[in-house]
Structure 1
């Protein structure tokens, strides 16, 4: 790796790397001699030298009417990097605590329009395990026509699907037709109503609503998903 590239890798910009190397090579020089060596414009060279001085990589020497700059040892760069690493290590636990707090907050996304809902179903059935409670009757007919392919995907890819469906005719007929070893379907008591289609996969809960405007809410949260999966297990275990 070229020296200039190496300096850029550890945090200097292109002009800083070029001018630091120029000062290092000539040992000591005026702004003019350094700009000539670095092949940079004099005003820019002065600005960059001041930046390097603030970083502790060059020193300014006043001699009567002449001002010169000299390079500090390259070890200073390593020491500066080690100091930054030490500061980062000391503050890492607190920074991670903030990161994890934000990470644990549920992420909520809203989807509207039939095309976006169909895309969402496509994402759901990329998962290896899906739990559903709802009603075939609750799904918009036009969307239903667009997502029948998901049943073939379940069969072909052996996706583990469990469904608890409302006891309406459409759902009962669907259960009779599509139940299989990896696609298990149970029918809820007639007193149970599911106005929305609810799907659990990975760490997400998806609630589809087809009343008035088709829409879906996706809640991505380990805690929320675990809660609803536990509720689903209770419901599933109490049905034949």
Structure 2
């Protein structure tokens, strides 16, 4: 259903969506009716209702013991979707600005133990080996136009690294999500096989980024070309990673599955 997708884009959980759709079809309802008729856990249902109220999707009336719930006016819902749309556009700007901030950060903290720089002939392999260290189950990657092959140096080197990296990643049960921009040519990779643990989506615009970014656990990695050679860094900083993950997830949810 299109409405389900729209509600998911607003960040609603499945139980919140179920309650919202119930109220949309049934109209005003008591809390007891909501959780009983939907076979929901009472506590979970009331938490979800409270969250819907905070989001402005549901309003209530009456005293605390006999509160009646109903969906908010249509105009209020439309405002929420419009604000969400504006938030996505702001996310793209924040994302690009974050890249510039990261570049500045790395220059200032080159000797910091939480910043690793990879240069030299084997830098491409060492960078990917380091990515797989630590405990995590998801890699988020954004691939800007032409950056992947340039960063690897050439297609032969890229394919060689991908072969062992994919094998190790899958062996460790690590899912990877790759977000392409409008003009990026996707790598030839079978995303229809769930055993390969890879999901791809395409963002609707060109991002004009000069490097590839990946987040994994409490670390973020950047790979690019400097002075004609591969250059990358990995930063261990939970605050930066949380910021980038939040922006990435917002863009991912707004993107289409890559074909």
- TM-score (normalised: structure 1): 0.49
Compare relative contact order (CA 8 Å, sep 6+) and give the higher one, 1 or 2.
2
Whichever of the two has the greater Rg, that structure is: 1
